[in-house]
Amino acid sequence: MAEILENSREEANQSRITAQIGKDKQVRTIFIEQISILIRLHEERKLYRLFEAILHSNEADLKKLVLQHRIKDMEWLTARLIEVRGEEFRPYAFESVVLFTGMLQHTLFVNRYTNMSEDNTPLLDNKAIIKRKAITKVGIDSTTKTTSKYI
């Protein structure tokens, strides 16, 4: 188990470094690409299932290992966010990463479980998916209208 996590971490680190070689650390698109690398790696190897299974198990050592893995990812994200946004963002960086990772985790969860099952059949019928998208769009539209008043 530890070997799987370490191998995935090492591969992600190498890919993130490669994506940044010779490029300005403050370029947001590079940061986005680096985050995408981690997401893609986790999705390809189905590490989210492994993490969920471990966190719902009674294996204290494995839980600790997964939590350490997540903390290292959050530390990397925090450091990169400061590089991208500048030193003045440091007081807000960790909390921003906590919010971001929570939103990302739930977005991936919703996409994963509302779009397809293991045998590639829809988990929700089309009406439920359309309704979810309509609710999301209304929420975004109303937020945009409200936000535009203050900008």
Task: Specify the pLDDT at position 147.
Answer: 39
**The tokens of 117 are what?**
């099952």
* Residue 148 reports pLDDT greater than 50: no
pTM of the model: 0.69
The predicted-structure confidence for 98-142, as pLDDT tens digits, reads as follows 999 999 988 888 887 776 555 555 555 555 555 555 655 554 444
Phi-psi region of 120 (alpha: psi -120 to 50; beta: other; left: phi over 0): left
Long-range contacts of 80-84 (CB under 8 A, 24+ apart): 80/25, 80/31, 80/34, 81/31, 83/25, 83/26, 84/25, 84/26, 84/27, 84/28, 84/31
CA–CA dist 52, 58 (Å, integer): 12
Instruction: Name the token pair of 140.
Output: 């975004």
pLDDT in tens, 37-93: 888 888 888 888 888 888 888 888 888 988 888 899 999 999 999 999 999 999 999
Whole-number pLDDT of residue 135: 56
- Per-residue pLDDT, 103: 94
